[in-house]
Amino acid sequence: MKYSSLLLAIYMVVLISCKHNKKEAIAQVPTKTEVILTKLWETDTLLKTCEAVRYNKEKGVIYVSNIGGVPPSEKDGDGSMSIINIEGEIINQNWVTGMSAPKGTHFYNDKLYVTDIDAIIKIDIKSGSIEKRISVENAVFLNDLDIDTNGDVYFTDSRDSKVYKLANDEVSLWLDLEGVNPNGILVEKDRILVVSFSKGDFITIDKETKQHSVIATGIVGGDGIVSIKEGYLASTWPGELFFVDKSVSGAIATKLLDTKDEKLNAADIGIIPEKNILLIPTFFGNKVVAYKIGYK
């Protein structure tokens, strides 16, 4: 009788332990979010080779960089910046001219910064004029750009695999990512995210240590990045859009959109966060397309 009681006690302990461990295992499984895109509007096809978009909440407008003639590395002087509203109407098609191949763009303290092959163009937003051209020594193909909360500008050279930093109008090499060909870039508080054009890797870089790791794969031809509620959206120049779930590390990114058959690229995307609207510049499509971001 005592022996049976002992066996019963051991059995109960094991059973309780198994249930406890099972609950812990279930709790550790990440929840997969399903993102849904619904098309809202598109602009007229007057934005010649539109490459990047950036929403300015204070002014309620969207800046669009237009490369103009190709190739996008040609110093032909026919690049421009346009302004559209949040309904997709072109307000000023030739707001700023005199650039060659403007690409990534962002603003800080009424100044708009734009990459242009081997220089950063600094535009005065109030006057709509170029204030300064900042040369980047040894640059090959400057591409995407983002700005930290303190005004430091980070930008990629996608053909030379480098990330540069602009502070107080002075350029310095921030990180050499040999073989990565970083294109899209997103600056966060403690880290910087880039998407590789050649490898399709979605990479996080610690600001202090500069150690980097891959958090998602499968985004070949990576071009732009925006942050959303549950993770990130990343575009590919050929015409795809992917979702990277914050709760799942090292996974293949989830494809949400594919417009390759329509011959519509998906370049340096932007977002209207308070309205959950994604903005896609279509490069050779010569228009910006907006989608409502939803979750399921």
Q: What is the block-wise mean pLDDT of the chain (296 residues), using blocks of 10 residues? A: 38 39 34 87 98 97 97 96 98 98 98 98 98 98 98 98 98 97 98 97 97 96 96 97 89 96 97 98 98 94
What is the predicted pLDDT for the residue at 99? 97
Report the distance separating Cα 123 and Cα 106, nearest Å. 10
The pLDDT value given to residue 250: 81
Sheet holding 119-124, edge to edge: 102-108, 111-116, 119-124, 129-135
pLDDT at 296: 84
For residue 266, how far is the Cα from the chain centroid?
11
Instruction: Rounding to the nearest 10 degrees, give the CA dihedral for residues 12, 14, 16, 18.
Output: -150
Number of neighbouring beta carbons within 10 Å of residue 213: 11
Nearest to 239 by CA among 257, 216, 218: 257
| Structure-token match 């228009």, residue found | 287
Can you give the pLDDT at residue 159? 97
Alpha carbon distance, N-terminus to C-terminus of the chain: 57
Domain ranges of the chain: 1-27, 31-295
- What is d(CA 129, CA 125) in angstroms, rounded to the nearest whole number? 7
CATH class for the domain made up of 31-295: mainly beta
DSSP-assigned beta bridge partners for residue 213: 204
Q: Which residues lie below 8 Å from residue 285, measured CB to CB, with a gap of 6+?
A: 45, 50, 263, 264, 265
pLDDT of 216 reads 96
Residue-level pLDDT at 272: 98
Q: C-alpha dihedral over 35, 39, 45, 49, to 10 degrees?
A: 0
Give the pairing of strands 162-167 and 153-157.
Answer: antiparallel
Q: What is the pLDDT of residue 269?
A: 98
What pLDDT is recorded for position 21?
41
